């Protein structure tokens, strides 16, 4: 998904930034699938090993990250995008 080889094309102009300092009082687009994927990896046991699965820790992690952004004055705008896939 996204622009193929985008990071390679931007390598000469990219810079590392601290989001909390750079984006204060700004609306910041967040790829929610990225956050969800990271939360699922962090809470694999509660989703796969437990029967029935417990989604609470995943939801809590995403909410905690969003609250962390809000506490720093950043207004997250969650984006759920991607190309149309047969399984969607």
51 three-state secondary structure: coil
Residue 75 CB-half CA count within 13 A: 3
DSSP letter assigned to residue 46: I
pTM reported for the whole predicted model: 0.70
Q: pLDDT tens digits for 22-63?
A: 888 889 888 898 899 999 999 999 888 888 999 999 999 999
Q: Which tokens belong to 71?
A: 């506490």
Q: pLDDT tens digits for 57-74?
A: 999 999 999 999 999 999
Q: Which tokens belong to 48?
A: 């796969």
């Amino acid at each position: 998904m996204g622009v193929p080889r985008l990071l390679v094309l931007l390598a000469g102009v990219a810079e590392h930034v601290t989001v909390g300092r750079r984006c204060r009082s700004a609306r910041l687009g967040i790829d929610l699938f990225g956050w969800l994927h990271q939360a699922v990896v962090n809470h694999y046991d509660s989703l796969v090993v437990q029967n029935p699965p417990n989604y609470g820790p995943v939801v809590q992690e995403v909410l905690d990250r969003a609250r962390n952004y809000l506490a720093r004055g950043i207004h997250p705008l969650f984006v759920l995008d991607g190309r149309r896939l047969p399984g969607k």
